[in-house]
């Protein structure tokens, strides 16, 4: 079990990006969260290695039509025990 944090910059707020990330995470069976912040859109996802790789490939290659990603910063973080789903945070 691994956990990754992505900070996504560009035109990613107000274009349906968070719901799109939610669908991608659910499709890959990942837990975690997505939220808009002053840093950009922050995504934390947790799951098996192959699911994380599939999520990242889709995130980079299939953003929502109105989104324009200029940068994705990725960090490995500590897995969260007991996390049961993926949520969109305010």
Where do the structural domains in the chain lie, given as residue ranges?
2-76
2, 9, 18, 23: the active-site residue: 18
Task: Give the pLDDT score at 90.
Answer: 84
Number of DSSP helices (H) and strands (E) in the chain, helices first: 2, 5
Query: Is 36 an annotated catalytic residue?
Result: yes
Which residues are within 8 A (CB) of 36 and not within 5 positions of it... i.e. 6 or more apart? 13, 18
* pTM: predicted TM-score of the whole model, two decimal places: 0.95
Task: Give the pLDDT score at 76.
Answer: 96
What is the residue whose two structure tokens read 């945070």?
Answer: 89
Task: Give the pLDDT score at 78.
Answer: 95
**Listed residue (49, 45, 35) closest to 74, CA to CA:** 45
Structure tokens at 51: 């699911």
5, 9, 11, 36: the active-site residue: 36
Q: Measured in whole angstroms, how far is the alpha carbon of residue 20 from the centre of its chain?
A: 9
Task: Give the pLDDT score at 45.
Answer: 98
2-76 to CATH, choices 3.20.20.70, 3.30.70.100, 1.10.760.10, 3.40.50.620 = 3.30.70.100
**Kind of pairing between the strands at 86-88 and 31-37:** parallel
Task: Give the pLDDT score at 88.
Answer: 97
Question: Across the 90 residues of the chain, what is the mean pLDDT of every consecutive 10-residue run?
Answer: 97 93 97 96 97 97 93 96 93
Task: Give the pLDDT score at 21.
Answer: 97
């Amino acid at each position: 079990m691994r956990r990754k944090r992505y900070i996504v910059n560009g035109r990613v707020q107000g274009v349906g990006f968070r719901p799109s990330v939610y669908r991608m995470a659910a499709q890959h069976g990942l837990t975690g969260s997505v939220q808009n912040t002053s840093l950009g859109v922050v995504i934390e996802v947790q799951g098996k290695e192959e699911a994380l790789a599939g999520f990242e490939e889709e995130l980079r290659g299939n953003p929502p039509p109105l989104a324009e990603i200029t940068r994705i910063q990725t960090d490995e973080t500590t897995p969260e025990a007991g996390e049961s789903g993926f949520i969109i945070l305010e």
